[in-house]
Amino acid sequence: MGSSTSTPAPPPKKNKPEGRKADNQILNSYQKSIVRNAWRHMSQKGPSNCGSTITRRMMARKSTIGDILDRSTLDYHNLQIVEFLQKVMQSLDEPDKISKLCQEIGQKHAKYRRSKGMKIDYWDKLGEAITETIREYQGWKIHRESLRAATVLVSYVVDQLRFGYSRGLHVQGSRETKEDDEE
């Protein structure tokens, strides 16, 4: 397997119309307010319920995800998803914190590529499941700006998770190549 010494560059932040938000912000203040309200509504339904809805949707979109999420760890993952989303909501004013969190999680999951067959597109399935769950939990309250804000945030989160995952694969590949050279 060929090895490169460079690490992939982080994904660029999405371009938004000028004047809508501060330079380094993912969402403008109105969008943050909408997303926070949606999250409050979702988390009132019970955190594990929200997490299990997301997990169930992911597995429905890609059945092989169920192979990675052992039945014995489903409850754990349901709670982890909710805790992750809670941290994202708490950090909406600090996009660098969101990036770091997502990249760390993505990188930690790289080890599952070889052992369980995890693929990078599973992060997309997670994003789709989160977006659908937000739509469901908002019910009749849905309006365009709310969906747009959720989509922008989820896209950013997924891009950062994918970047961390790719970086983790790169680090693993470098380690494996080094180990092969030493043998």
Query: Binding site annotation covers 109?
Result: yes
Residue 28 near residue 153 (C-beta atoms within 8 A): no
170 labelled ligand-binding: no
Q: What are phi and psi of 26, to 5 degrees?
A: -80, -40
Task: Report the distance separating Cα 60 and Cα 63, nearest Å.
Answer: 6
Question: Could you tell me which of 53, 59, 54, 85 has the C-alpha nearest to residue 71?
Answer: 59
C-beta separation of 42 from 142 below 8 A:
no
CA distance 40 to 37: 5
Residues 6+ apart with CB under 8 A from 114: 172
Q: Which amino acid is at 22?
A: A
Nearest Cα to Cα of residue 122 among 97, 35, 130: 130
Binding residues for heme: 77, 109
Binding residues: 77, 109
